[in-house]
Amino acid sequence: MIKLYGFQQSRSFRALWTLEESGLKYEYIQVKLRTDAEVPDSAKNPKYLAVNAQGKVPTLVDGDLTLTESVAILYYIARSAPESGLLPNASMDVYARIDELACFVLAELEQPLWSKGKHMFALPEEHRIPQMLEIAEFEFAKALNALEHLLDDGEYAVGDSFTLVDILLAHTFNWAIRFEFDLPRKYIDFRDRLYSRPACQRALEVMQ
Ligand SMILES: N[C@@H](CCC(=O)N[C@@H](CS)C(=O)NCC(=O)O)C(=O)O
């Protein structure tokens, strides 16, 4: 059975939500970030470092396969459950646009969010630079302008059905809202609409 290691309020949620959408059986294992290595369920404990050398979340383990990048995890789940439509049976163009958006979310949209997180709490205090918070907001606004050109007009990010890239986007918008970035109303509505999906609500309960 698939094992997902995660921590609340982190990129683990996108993987957990995707698992709930997929209908696959899985076990969710909570690890703790920002704790000492001696704590048995700490992400810094050698037991966890053996599955994820960076001590980060999420990690998915399925038999002999271990994946430590959230987007690769989403694709793996989607391909393991083709009937879920998370990666629809679609044209090359649609696939290419899903891939493009997934890359865009990681490389452009979430990068300033993580920058703010790092300089607010994640980095050791002596490495935090207060000006980075303003720079992160500037970069996020720039990425939002570009996003406008990558999204379809309909209900979903690409094409006319719910895909893994909708999870990725809604989760990233939620992250932006939590970190108090300026987010246009239409993206807040998108987050609200997708977070009301039963699978997302179940994932939120699992993560508690
Ligand atoms: N590129 C990785 C990033 C994973 C990552 O940075 N996760 C954060 C939580 S959202 C983490 O585990 N941070 C702990 C740390 O940096 O020590 C992915 O998308 O899975």
The DSSP-derived string for 122-141 is IS-GGG--THHHHHHHHHHH
From CA 17, how far away is CA 10, in angstroms rounded? Answer: 12
Band the pLDDT of 123: cuts 50, 70, 90.
Answer: very high
pLDDT surpassing 90 at residue 200: yes
**pLDDT tier at 111, thresholds 50, 70, 90:** very high
Residues in CB range of 112: below 8 A, 6 or more apart: 135, 136, 137, 138, 139, 140, 143, 181
Q: Where are the alpha helices (DSSP H) in 81-184?
A: 92-104, 110-117, 131-147, 164-178
Report whether pLDDT(152) > 90.
no
The pLDDT confidence band at residue 3, using thresholds 50, 70 and 90, is very high
Question: Are 131 and 120 spatial neighbours (Cβ–Cβ below 8 Å)?
Answer: no
Residue ranges of the domains in the chain?
2-86, 92-197
CA 166 to CA 143: how far, in whole Å? 17
Angstrom distance (rounded) from CA 68 to CA 51: 8
Most informative mutation of 57, 118, 128 for ligand 1 (most atoms within 8 A of CB) = 57
Q: Is the pLDDT of residue 185 over 90?
A: yes
Q: In the numeric block, which tokens belong to residue 14?
A: 């996108």
**Averaged over 132-136, what is the pLDDT?**
95
| Banded model confidence at residue 122, pLDDT cuts 50, 70, 90 | confident
Residues with CB under 6 A from ligand 1: 10-11, 33, 55-58, 69-70
Ligand 1 atom at minimum distance from 70 CA: 20
Between strands 26-30 and 2-6, the pairing is parallel
pLDDT exceeds 90 at position 186: yes
CATH architecture of 2-86: 3-Layer(aba) Sandwich (3.40)
**Average pLDDT for 4-18:** 96
pLDDT at residue number 135? 96
* Residue range 195-203: mean pLDDT, rounded: 98
> Is-contact 170 195, C-beta < 8 A?
yes
State the pLDDT at residue 78. Answer: 98
C-alpha 8/C-alpha 178 separation (Å) is 13
Q: Is 151 helix (H, G, I), strand (E, B) or coil?
A: coil
The chain-wide mean pLDDT, for the chain, equals 96
Position in ligand 1 atom list of the atom nearest CA 56: 12
Give the pLDDT band of residue 90 (cuts 50, 70, 90). confident
pLDDT for 82 equals 96
User: Which of the 8 DSSP states describes residue 120?
Assistant: I
Mean per-residue pLDDT, 119-139 = 94
Express each pLDDT in 26-79 by its tens digit: 999 999 998 899 988 999 999 999 999 999 999 999 999 999 999 999 999 999
Q: Does 92-197 match 2-86 at the fold level? A: no
CATH topology (fold) of 92-197: Glutathione S-transferase Yfyf (Class Pi); Chain A, domain 2 (1.20.1050)
Nearest to 31 by CA among 18, 20, 19, 44: 44
